Amino acid sequence: MPEPAQRSDREFLPSANQALANLEQATGKPVLIQEDQDLKVLATIHRAGAEESCHLLRLKGSSDHISDYLITFECRMALRDGPEPKAVVREKREARERVISEVEKLHRQLPLAKARDLGKFLYNGLIVQLRSTGPGLLVDRWIREHCPDLREAQARSIETQITENLGVLQAGTRTNFPARVYNASVAMNAAYAVFGGDLLGKPHLGVPYVSQGHGELARRLIATALGDGETTPADRQIIDAWSAELGISSWYDWIERTA
């Protein structure tokens, strides 16, 4: 297990300190920060349940204030539905098994156990992407508007992520994935890239997706997430609307979670 990173190990930027304080004040529970180099993503937060004493925010580790941006982003994501109990996405076994079965057929050269592991990885990754990408657009817009001390770090992080995601557009990649998994994931990547290009004033970031025909769907997903300018959609509204657009509405359930 990674060792807890003490809040006092270094001085966070004001926006990161404020985000941590806001989450702690809203929920009455502290945030424990851990650095974990084995983390599959840059950062993730586990919001404390009723029987848990603290929230766990894990970071893969980064420098030049990228971690301040990630801390702020994860705390804002955790606060989107407020301090009260909320519904959360639960993976659906039958949907996961369908993906696993498709992966087994696509990769007959793999041992069965490895094919199953790959199928689980792809299904779980898609659900995480669905759960986080749409609501994350709203959080990134808020950070851009309210956290001038994070502007440079946010820009670097978003541009790096968009660039790293471009690998899925390479010729031949599509045939390695079940069609609905690939199409849904690329559409969400496209929405992130087009949104990020708009947010940072670098529209070229979305061009690789637009040039391959993903621009129209990306714009629809972005519009759904950002709302009409007067009301901000809740996470559940965004996730359900995106899943309908992507043809994966039956791939998850909602369950009530106590705070």
What residue type is assigned to position 191 of the chain? A
pTM attached to this predicted model: 0.92
Is residue 72 within 8 A of residue 19, CB to CB? The reply is: yes
pLDDT at residue 4 above 70?
Answer: no
What's the first-to-final CA gap in the chain, in angstroms?
25
Is residue 257 within 8 A of residue 88, CB to CB? The reply is: yes
- Which is it for strands 4-5 and 86-91: parallel, antiparallel or unpaired? unpaired
Neighbours of 108 (CB within 10 A): 8
pLDDT at 152: 96
Q: What is the pLDDT of residues 55-113, one digit of tens each?
A: 999 998 766 789 999 999 999 999 987 766 678 899 999 999 999 999 999 999 999 99
pLDDT band for 117, please (50, 70, 90 cuts): very high
pLDDT band for 230, please (50, 70, 90 cuts): confident
The token pair that represents 127 in the structure block: 């659900």
Mean pLDDT to the nearest integer, 238-255: 97
What is the torsional sign of CA 220, 225, 226, 232? Answer: positive
Q: 180 — phi, psi (to 5°)?
A: -70, -35
Query: How far apart are the C-alpha atoms of 97 and 121, rounded to whole Å?
Result: 12
pLDDT at residue 1 above 50?
Answer: no
Mean pLDDT to the nearest integer, 34-57: 90
pLDDT at residue 170 above 80?
Answer: yes
Q: What is the pLDDT of residues 208-223, one digit of tens each?
A: 999 999 999 999 999 9
